[in-house]
Amino acid sequence: MKEGIGYIHVRFRNNVGWGETAHYKISIDTSAPLPFEVKMDALASDNPSPEIRYETHDTLSGISHALIFLDGKEFSKSTTTVLMLPPQLPGKHTILVRVFDFGGNSVESDLQFEILPLPTPMIEFISRTVSQGELVFTSGKSIPNAFVDARVLNILRQEIFTGTAQSDSSGNWKIIIDKPLLTGKYIVSVVARDERGATSFSTTEESFKVRPKTILSLGFIDLGWFEIFLIAMLLIAGGAGFAAWRYIARQKTRGAYRTIIGRDIEKVSALFSDNLKELEHAEGLPDPSRATKVTALIERMKDTVAKMKKYLGEEVSKLK
């Protein structure tokens, strides 16, 4: 049968005679709806939720529905010809509308548009180094009376904290990162957002560092258990070396042994210096790796101290 509208007339007969005639309408539609264009008030705007309009007709079977695709992904099935998009991130986007008639035929139209970003905020201050348990403060400038969304990542770029503040009438904002953080290095960035849902691009990432909790404070120097342990190890090693040097210096007749012990003390000092450099590098490692590295270095230093103690005992006994 050809495309169009046709009718079937049916009349049945039995032993009594003919019945009434029944009429059936048959519509055959193989043509797509009429071509159309998707329209938008402004193709470049900072409005994150622009409105789209479209309209088409199908004279035979009529319009059934439309599928809306945004950036290649279907997000809506609509029976209206006007639709407001959900808030979009800054950048270029593509909207595609595919309209179906009741015969299953379709026609589509697409449109490219751009969401302009809000001005990017600035981070003017951040607590660069804090001890575990302390708060991290960050502040800066943004557009007036806007939301400022902060995001904190660890060294593995895993999201650790999110928070929102509101800028005042002058654009000033501040955020307190009050979540307990493990020791290590972190990065923070912020994005501005207005009441419509429009956003800015993210700021340049700023970093801060969380140190072990301070146990002892000496003026401008804060010491944790880790630093105290290192100082104690150095004092033990230095004290043992000094005692040995003093003893040998008094024994003028033992010059040879003084030279030997002095040389070996220098070697031990160099070894401790290398271990300290490795400990400094270990602070930048993630927590599991750093703990393993530090434990290994501490064991190595303990072994060195034990050997030094035994060695000095043997050498001193030779001087008696």
Residues 266 and 196 in one domain: no
Q: How far apart are CA 283 and CA 74, in angstroms?
A: 48
Contact between 233 and 122 (Cβ < 8 Å): no
pLDDT of residue 319: 53
Residue 252 has pLDDT above 60, yes or no: no
Residues 261 and 298 in one domain: yes
Which position has the higher pLDDT, 316 or 95?
Answer: 95
The distance from CA 116 to its chain's CA centroid, rounded to whole angstroms, is 23
In a domain, 1, yes or no: no
In a domain, 29, yes or no: no
pLDDT of residue 213: 76
Contact between 31 and 105 (Cβ < 8 Å): yes
Question: Exposure string (b/e) for 254-267, b if CB count within 10 Å is 16 or more?
Answer: beebbeebeebbee
Tell me the average pLDDT of the chain. Answer: 82
Residues 251 and 186 in one domain: no
Contact between 106 and 35 (Cβ < 8 Å): no
Q: Specify which of 58-67, 243-252, 258-267 reaches the highest per-range mean pLDDT.
A: 58-67
Q: Supply the DSSP symbol for 11.
A: E
| Proportion of the chain above pLDDT 70, given as a percent | 68
Q: What is the CATH number of the domain that holds 185?
A: 2.60.40.1220
Q: How many other C-beta atoms lie within 10 A of the C-beta of residue 144?
A: 11
In a domain, 142, yes or no: yes
Taking alpha carbons only, the member of 181, 196, 81, 79 closest to residue 147 is 196
Taking alpha carbons only, the member of 235, 239, 261, 236 closest to residue 248 is 261
Residues 92 and 157 in one domain: no
Residues 174 and 239 in one domain: no
Alpha carbon dihedral 153, 149, 88, 198, in 10-degree steps, equals -150
User: Looking at 211, 236, 261, which one is the last position of a domain?
Assistant: 211
Print the domain residue range for 51. Answer: 34-115
Taking alpha carbons only, the member of 278, 119, 139 closest to residue 200 is 119
In a domain, 2, yes or no: no
Q: What is the pLDDT of residues 268-307, one digit of tens each?
A: 667 766 766 676 666 666 666 666 766 776 777 777 766 6
In a domain, 161, yes or no: yes
Q: Is the dihedral of CA 176, 181, 186, 190 positive or negative?
A: negative
Q: What is the pLDDT of residues 103-151, one digit of tens each?
A: 889 999 999 999 999 999 999 999 999 998 899 999 999 999 999 999 9
User: Looking at 62, 93, 115, which one is the last position of a domain?
Assistant: 115
- Of the candidate ranges 21-35, 105-119, 213-227, 257-271, the one whose mean pLDDT is the lowest: 213-227
Residue 146, φ and ψ in degrees, nearest 5 = -120, 165
pLDDT of residue 88: 95
In a domain, 104, yes or no: yes
Contact between 93 and 114 (Cβ < 8 Å): yes
SS3 285: coil
pLDDT, mean of residues 185-200: 96
Residues 225 and 315 in one domain: yes
Residues 230 and 301 in one domain: yes
pLDDT of residue 301: 72
Residue showing tokens 């043992």: 240
Claim: this prediction has a pTM higher than 0.75: no
Contact between 203 and 189 (Cβ < 8 Å): yes
Residue showing tokens 């002892």: 216
Residue 260 has pLDDT above 80, yes or no: no
Residue 50, φ and ψ in degrees, nearest 5 = -70, 160
pLDDT of residue 53: 95
DSSP string, 57-84: --SSS-EEEEEEEETTEEEEEESSSEEE
User: Looking at 161, 184, 211, which one is the last position of a domain?
Assistant: 211
Collect all residues with Cβ–Cβ distance below 8 Å to 93 and sequence separation of at least 6: 70, 71, 112, 113, 114, 115
Confidence of residue 224 (pLDDT cuts 50, 70, 90): low
